[in-house]
Amino acid sequence: MSKLIASAAIKGAHTLVKKAEDMLQKVIVEKGEDFAFEFPDTAFYLPMIYAMTTFPVKTLGDMRVALGMAKELLHEEPEEHLWKPYLGEALDSGMATLFAEEIILALKYINGLEPAKDTETGYVYNGFITDTIQRNLGIQLVDGTMPGFAVIIGAAPNDETAVNIVRKLQGKNILTFLSGHVNGNSVTKQLLRKGVELGWDTRIVPLGPDTEHALYAADWAIRASLIYGGKKPGDYKEHLKYQKDRVFAFAVVLGELDDIIWTTGAGAINMGFPAICDTDVPVIHPTGVCIYEEVEKELDHNKIVQKAIEVRGLKIIVEKPPIPVAYGPAFEGERIRKEDMFLEFGGTRTPSFEWVRMRGMEDIEDGKVVVVGNNWQERYEKGGEMPLGIVVDVAGRKMQKDFEPVIERKIHSNINEAQGVWHMGQRDINWMRISHNAKKEGFTLEHLGIINATMTHHRFRAIVDKVQVTIYTDGSDVLRLMEEARSVYKERDQRLGGLVDEAVDIFYSCLLCQSFAPSHVCVISPERLGLCGAYSWLDCKAAFEIDPTGGNQPIIKGELLDERYGRYTGIDEYLKKASGGAVETLNLYTIMENPMTSCGCFECIIAIIPEANGVMIVQRGHTEMTPVGMKFSTLAGSVGGGTQNPGFMGIGRNFIVSKKFLHGDGGIKRIVWMTKNLKESLKEAFEKRAEEEGVPDLLDKIADETVAEDSEKLLEFLTSVGHPALEMEPML
Amino acid sequence: MEKKIVKSANEAAEQIIEWGESHGIETCFDRAQRLKPCPIGAAGACCKTCHMGPCRFVGKNAEEEARGVCGATLPTVASRNLLRMAIAGSAAHTDHARDMAFILLAVANGETSDFRITDVRKLYKVAGILDIEFGNGMAVNDVARDVALRLIKDFGRQKGELNYIKRAPNKTQERWKKWGITPRGIDREITEAMHRTHMGVDHAPDNLLLSALRVSLADGWGGSMISTDITDILFGTPRPVKAEAGFGIFKEDEVNIVVHGHEPSLAEMIVDVVNEPEMIAYAKSKGAKGINLGGMCCTANEVLMRHGIPTAGGFTNQELAIMTGLIDAITVDVQCIMPALVELSRKFHTKVITTSYKAKIPGAVHIEYDEHRAKEIAREIVKFAIDNYPNRKAEGIHINQKFPVIAGFSHEYIEYMQGGRWRASFRPLNDAIMAGRIRGVVGLAGCDNPRVPSQGLHRFLAVELIKNDVLILSTGCGSHACGTAGYLIPEMALENAGPGLREVCEAIGVPPILHLGSCVDNSRILTIVSAMAAEGGLSDEIGGMPVVGIAPEWMSEKAISIGCYLAASGVPVIFGGESPVSASEEVTKIMTEVWFERFKGALHFEPDPEKILSLTLEYIDRAREALKLRKYEPGKFGAERVLLDMAARRELEKAAKPHIGIY
């Protein structure tokens, strides 16, 4: 019964708070109260404590204060008979536990014990999850490709079961965190023994060997409401409601539960995350704290994943093509090393390309997959390398030529999501590998066709009525068709080059992030892609055709009120509605006045540097200091959450080389600092733009982290190279 | 042979009654047997508002044909009589509240050092409700003064509306506005209503009954709510305590003092004083081992809720407690004090001490309470009791029976217990009702009454209701009836509640009957149901909720006021016993059908407990049906799972509810 759980949760909290206190005392003796600490790459201090209390823990002394708050949440255990109520008290204890665990892990970092390392295998756990990773995954959190999060605590009864459970979670596209152990054994170790690839790319992330490490998952979750939800630190009610309503996390507890697991579970339940156990535990069914059950059991390991998904109220529709290997986004990040490789195509090894062609309805046969080539089966069986041409012919009453590249770009995901098949690049620079394992499971070249036929139908069901795939394997065919394809690629690029804001009447909104950032609206024009970098105007156009009531809606741009700043009547009208009144007006081409809002998953942040009369740009993943005196993580904290912040803006990488980039503020000439990474990756396009702007050597005049990480050095550099921004009209 | 009449369903009480009878000692139970109610007055057919009468409205077709000397009709008289009861009830509660407000003011002004602001958090909550601005730098006493003055204004206000009216759901307020019953000032409503009942003023039954609702709302959303809030501020917002109930709480070797009545401030002082070492030493000097404090009636509830002081029970137990021969002193203040105590006490050594200038009884010792010298007076009383200890004679019947109780369920704690410090809310309760785990909620309140097997109706209904998965909120002497039966413990849920209610009680760790406090604390029912409406998923007003109020053994006029304010707020209410308006069909119809149509509340009178039960469940099930909730089936529940895909997540409602928790 529930009282047992409450007792354990309350007892566990006492244990952990005491443990934290003892550890803290020791470290303070060694290092002093003023010793500063921060988790790697986060702007949110100890995120759980910060989100719940507004208290930013920066030093060991602060930890003592925070621990005092945890102590206030401790209660007495309920008595055997004539007990007083315990649910509220147990939940308080759960929160005390999260606070204590956060402090314990912080102290372990200080002691050099985190991220934890397995002494037997040398495996290094993930440890604290950085803000960068959180933001990298942003778009997947909202577009349904990562619909939920599982935290597994403990170990399965055997290695096979562990693999089975994790594969099921992967098959549902769920991100899985691993923590805890049963007598030293853990799912992490079980998967390692079975050679399962672990890490962010395969969506299986071992956080650490102890139950306490599950706190890292809670810390990751709570930052979703800070970053995307725009919830203020201290608005604990709002945070917890956001967690319950929007962060679809749950715990799967494998093996016997102790007080520490129960009390950590009570912390999770506070956040609305239920626990599903594989042992005969007491259950808590009444709802209201969680959306459905708080604690549930499922003794059948084959059913536990499905049960967990239902208990959390998740709807996951997974389209799986009829192929002999597992399929889903969770396998997209899987690598195939040379020794695991059975066969490869493209790269620099063989000629290879992929091409989507629009055809007439009568020209193709739906679902037909043909592999063309002399003795292709025989050659395939030998492995090694082969030329490859993938031609996807599509037809549909609503199909447009403009959608060809949109559909074509999905070939990457289509193929990559198959377990044991790897793909990178696009067009005629693609590269693919098939693993020995996939081959062993019966994967053939026909399956490459089947995957593309099925998934193209699935992803573009409203615009594609027929799909036919032809796979070419003879070098001569491939080379011939590749030439044909190349001329089409070129044609497309030219057409795309002419696709400017002035040339269309309709822009698109992107509301995908409203599942996480309810007041944010992206306005996407031909010359300004979404800030996540994932949605261009064409993507939105196709998405709207596919789902007219979906996340991308047309905005009739209306009258141009301000050419320089890019203010349109249609956008303003639309925004008022779509942002729920949070945003009244928007200028597309400036950072200074009513700029675009951000959800939190921006690729880059632009920030004004007043003293340099220009702006700097830093991309997600750059963890060093920037000349505005803030790291990316801190900057991001002041940009996200759907509010307009003049002088600060989140953007997609490729917007930097758009003609409309800060058009109203002077364009790319305003860029005075940009990371080396950005400079290098955008080099070609940037130089072209610089030439158009009449400053061909602009890129060299822009500082980067190797030149300056503070504004003083930056100014020195700008003056020495004669950066044009210094001569431009004042930004402020 | 004459069939034995069960006088009290409380076994221990029955034992004492029988002992009394064998010793020639008379109690209210005997007097109730002997003194049948006047059938004309009992049915509301007697008018004695002027000296042309009293007139009785009897005979064939009295409803249509009977006339008083002035020409008044039966419906006029029956409704006017009911209104008079409501006025008296409202006056009692609100005058109690006034005293509390003036104590708060005295504390804020530093005029008394004996009291302090115990619950600052609650003070801030109330200040917030009253739109009183207070910054970090503002002294607690300054906030308290603003709160006291703002609430005191409610008594003398001539226009506008009471401060707390806005705590009701908007739709509920709209109904009051539409029918013109939003109370303005407390005293104005009472005065005006009294005026209406004067000879020759208001004669329209519907109009008179609307006035009854208005004057009662001034109690529920005025006096009672003010009293609850201020008492919480001064003495602490209750949270669960473990205590004991029954006649067995008295100790043979200690000085036994009983605090009886309604206003808690003196009792609070006595609670402090009995623990003072000097007092204990003094008691020992008189041969006692210590000082044992027990409560009676609603004063008991107040000190039980906040300090776990044991209770000897409710209204009908007051004489019986003296008959144990163990009570050295019983202090009384206002309301529900039987004057019989004094005469009875003469047969024992017990001293009855009246403490209020408003309420004196010939023959009692009077030690007048003054909040400015509260502790001093409390010491005087305790000392007086100790001095009386050596006079204790062997007479009396000693009872060992007592039961454990878990009490202390304030609105704030009920919110807290459903989610803790961080996510306190009414979501789990609403969810449980929606899912059919909890069929509905009943406020089981009101007096206990010697005209029925006393406390028996409470106990019958309590057991039957929880068996039917109905969560009970109990107050006043209803709580005593349950407490002295051993019902107010969590184990009660495991053994006696229906399967759904049991799951909820187990999840939270509560008894299936939540003791909310004294009879002024019925105001907590109003705020709880309002919070349920605000939480969403059920009705968006108090009306239409699967909630019923029951006072099966009511006897006081305060009960009529409570019944009326619950009905006006939207709660169907069922009173036990014969109807005080049964003489008039028209009046009965107005109070049930017409009120239900206008306010979704009603006031029924139903003597048959089985019928009270079925009518209650019928109201609950009808409300469930109207709300399109899952049909209640015992043992079958569960929310319809709505599985969310990404599109559904984007549509999630954005606003979260404001919240003030208890800790």
Question: Residue B654's pLDDT is what?
Answer: 38
* Burial of B75 (C-beta count, 10 Å sphere; 0-12/13-18/19+): buried
- B416 touching A, CB under 8 A? yes
Q: Assess whether pLDDT exceeds 90 at residue A145.
A: no
β-pairing verdict for A388-395 and A352-358: parallel
CATH architecture of A2-110: Orthogonal Bundle (1.10)
Nearest to B187 by CA among B155, B151, B212: B155
Averaged pLDDT, A597-604:
85
Where do the domains of chain A lie?
A: 2-110, 131-311, 332-496, 502-727
Predicted local confidence at residue A380, as pLDDT: 93
CB contact under 8 A, A248 and B507: no
CA-to-CA dists, residue B262 to B10, B152, B224, B356, B476, angstroms: 22, 20, 12, 11, 10
Residue A611 C-alpha, separation from nearest chain B C-alpha, in angstroms: 38
Question: Nearest CA to CA, how far is B663 from chain A (Å)?
Answer: 9
CB pairs under 8 A between A and B: 157
The pLDDT of residue A460:
87
- Alpha carbon distance A505, A554 (integer Å): 10
- Determine whether the interchain pair B422/A245 forms a contact, defined as Cβ–Cβ distance below 8 Å: no
Q: Please judge whether B406 and A78 are an interchain contact, meaning their C-beta atoms are less than 8 angstroms apart.
A: no
Question: Is the pLDDT assigned to residue B79 strictly greater than 90?
Answer: yes
* CA A585 – CA A596 distance, rounded (Å): 9
Q: Is the pLDDT of residue A510 over 90?
A: no
Tell me the per-residue pLDDT of A258-300, one tens digit each, with 9 for 90 and over.
999 999 999 999 999 999 999 999 999 999 899 889 999 999 9
8-state DSSP, A79:
P
Mean pLDDT rounded to a whole number for chain B: 94
Separation of alpha carbons A307 and A287, rounded Å? 16
The alpha-carbon gap from B382 to the nearest alpha carbon of chain A, in Å, equals 31
Does residue B640 have a pLDDT over 70? Answer: no
Contact B427 A289 (CB under 8 A): yes
* Residues sharing a CB contact under 8 Å with residue A496, sequence separation 6 or more, in sequence order: A405, A538
Do B509 and A86 lie within an 8 Å CB cutoff? yes
pLDDT averaged over every residue in chain A: 91
Q: Is B662 exposed, middle or buried (0-12, 13-18, 19+ CB in 10 A)?
A: buried
Distance separating alpha carbons of residues B660 and B663, to the nearest angstrom: 9
A607-635 average pLDDT score: 91
Residue B653 has pLDDT above 60, yes or no: no
Q: How far apart are CA A491 and CA A63, in angstroms?
A: 61
Give the whole-angstrom CA distance, residue B409 versus residue A558. Answer: 60
Q: Which helix (H) or strand (E) holds A152?
A: strand A149-154
CB-closest option in A6, A52, A91 to B419: A91
State how far residue B510 is from chain A, nearest Cα, in angstroms: 5
- Find the helix or strand (DSSP H, E) in which B622 lies: helix B609-626
- What's the CA gap between A417 and A411, in Å, rounded? 10
Indicate the pLDDT class of residue B652, thresholds 50, 70 and 90: low
- Identify which has the larger pLDDT, A530 or B324: B324
Rounded distance, CA B652 to CA B647, Å? 9
**Amino acid symbol at A235:** D
Q: For A27-71, how does the pLDDT look when each residue is reduced to its tens digit (9 = 90+)?
A: 999 999 999 999 999 999 999 999 999 999 999 999 999 999 999
pTM of this prediction? Answer: 0.85
Distances (CA, A) of B42 to B45, B125, B583: 8, 44, 9
Backbone angles phi, psi at B55, to 5 degrees: -110, 140
For residue B4, pLDDT over 80 is answered with no
Lowest mean pLDDT of A206-220, A395-409, B638-652, name the range: B638-652
Cβ contact (<8 Å) for B242 and A84? Answer: yes
d(CA A424, CA A409): 11
Report whether CATH 2.30.110.10 matches the domain A502-727: no
CATH class of A332-496: alpha beta
- Determine whether the interchain pair B507/A2 forms a contact, defined as Cβ–Cβ distance below 8 Å: yes
DSSP tag of A231: P
On the question of pLDDT at A179 being above 60, the answer is yes
Please determine, for residue A729, whether its predicted confidence score (pLDDT) is greater than 80.
yes
Torsions phi, psi of A300, nearest 5?
-90, 115
Please, are residues B79 and B208 in contact by the beta-carbon 8 Å criterion?
yes
Cβ neighbours of B639 in A, within 8 Å:
287, 292
Q: Can you tell me the distance from the alpha carbon of A26 to that of A189, in angstroms, rounded to the nearest whole number?
A: 31
Read off the pLDDT of residues B99-123 as tens digits, 9 standing for 90 and up: 999 999 999 999 999 999 999 999 9
A314·B489 Cβ contact <8 A: no
Say which DSSP state A59 is in: B
A positions 518-557 inside 8 Å of B (CB): 518-519, 549-551
User: Is residue B425 within 8 angstroms of chain A, CB to CB?
Assistant: yes
What is the DSSP code string of A245-288? HH--EEEEEES---HHHHHHHHHHHHTT--EEESS----B---S
- Quickly tell me which residue has 């209640």 as its tokens: B632
Strand positions, DSSP E, B424-480: 440-444, 470-475
Distance CA A650, CA A513 (A): 14
> What one-letter code names the amino acid at A360?
G
Cβ atoms of A273 and A174 within 8 Å: the answer is: no
Confidence tier at B659 by pLDDT (50, 70, 90): very low
B277-285 helix and B374-388 helix, angle to the nearest 10 degrees: 20
Range 220-249 of B in CB contact (< 8 A) with A: 240-242
Q: Quick one: residue A694, left, alpha or beta (phi over 0 = left, psi -120 to 50 = alpha)?
A: left
Q: Distance (Å, rounded) from C-alpha B126 to C-alpha A711?
A: 51
Indicate whether B657 pLDDT > 50.
no
**Residue listed under structure tokens 């609850």:** B228
A residues 221-240 near B, CB within 8 Å?
A: 236-238, 240
The pLDDT, as a whole number, for residue B3 is: 61
> What's the pLDDT tens digit per position in B388-445?
999 998 789 999 999 999 999 999 999 999 999 999 999 999 999 999 999 999 999 9
Expressed in angstroms, the distance from the first to the final Cα of chain B is 61
| Ordered structural domains, chain B, with CATH | 74-235 (1.20.1270.30), 241-391 (3.40.50.2030), 422-648 (3.40.50.2030)
CB A593 within 8 A of CB A565: yes
The chain A residue lying nearest B489, using CA atoms, is A82
The least confident of B163-172, B475-484, B653-662 is B653-662
Question: Looking at CA atoms only, how far is residue B403 from chain A in angstroms?
Answer: 11
Segment B248-265 shows an average pLDDT of 96
Q: Is A265 on the interface with B (CB under 8 A)?
A: no
CB-nearest to A92 from B406, B420, B649 is B420
Whether B663 has a pLDDT exceeding 50, the answer reads no
Which strand ranges, in their side-by-side order, compose the sheet holding A431-435? Answer: A384-386, A341-346, A431-435, A421-424
Q: How far is residue B39 from each of residues A271, A604, B35, B42, B56, measured CA to CA in Å?
A: 62, 87, 11, 5, 10
Q: Which helix (H) or strand (E) holds A342?
A: strand A341-346
A90 touches chain B (CB under 8 A): yes
Note whether A270 contacts B: Cβ–Cβ < 8 A. yes
Inspect the interface and report whether the beta carbons of B428 and A286 lie closer than 8 Å: yes
Contact B406 A147 (CB under 8 A): no
Name every residue whose Cβ is closer than 8 Å to that of residue B565 and which is 6 or more positions away in sequence. B213, B216, B217, B219, B220, B221, B224, B526
pLDDT for B476 equals 96
> What count of other Cβ atoms lies within 10 Å of the Cβ of residue B65?
11
Tell me which architecture the domain covering A131-311 has in CATH: 3-Layer(aba) Sandwich (3.40)
Which of B509, B644, B650 is closest, CB to CB, to A315? B644
Surface-to-core class of residue A694, CB atoms within 10 Å of its CB (0-12 exposed, 13-18 middle, 19+ buried)? exposed
**With 60 as the cut, is the pLDDT of residue B2 above it?**
no
A296 touches chain B (CB under 8 A): no
8 Å CB contact of B422 and A143: no
| Beta bridge partner(s), residue A523 | A509
- B501 touches A at CB < 8 Å: no
Contact A91 B437 (CB under 8 A): no
Residues A572-599 have a mean pLDDT of: 88
Higher pLDDT, B134 or B483: B483
Tell me the C-alpha distance between A69 and A22, whole Å. Answer: 16
